[in-house]
A = this chain, B = another copy of it.
Amino acid sequence: MDANRQKRLEARARILKAVGNASRLLILEELAQGEKCVADLTQAVGNDISTVSKHLSLLKSVGLVRDEKRGNQVFYTLLAPCVLNFFDCVESVLEARVQHQIEMIG
């Protein structure tokens, strides 16, 4: 396969991989409501704060979120709200799967 295509696909995969994790999806959903600090997100996710911090730094490294320090807190903001559109597609896949299972049974 073409090396350029490979590079392009890997760059895309890195971003999509960042979205393919339940904790990070939750973080993105929370950020969809507006900026949040790490402590707030930690509360929502339920993991150790250090774990959440690492998820955030991953999301930041691929460009999905931005961070801003104010006082001794760090606020994270969703940079690419378009990822929220993924959910509709994903839901349709889940729907279709349920439908398929019903057909198998019936």
Query: A residues near B, CB below 8 A?
Result: 1, 5-6, 9-23, 25-26, 44-46, 62-64, 79-80, 82-83, 85-94, 96-97, 100
Copies per complex of this chain: 2
Contact of A86 among B5, B10, B16 (CB under 8 A): B16
Q: Are A20 and B20 in contact (CB under 8 A)?
A: yes
User: Shortest Cβ distance from A30 into chain B, in angstroms?
Assistant: 10
Report Cα–Cα, A62/B95, bound state, in Å.
11
Q: Describe A's contact surface by its main secondary structure.
A: helix
Pairs of residues from A and B, 7 with the lowest C-beta to C-beta distance, nearest first:
A17-B20, A82-B89, A16-B20, A63-B97, A9-B22, A20-B20, A13-B22
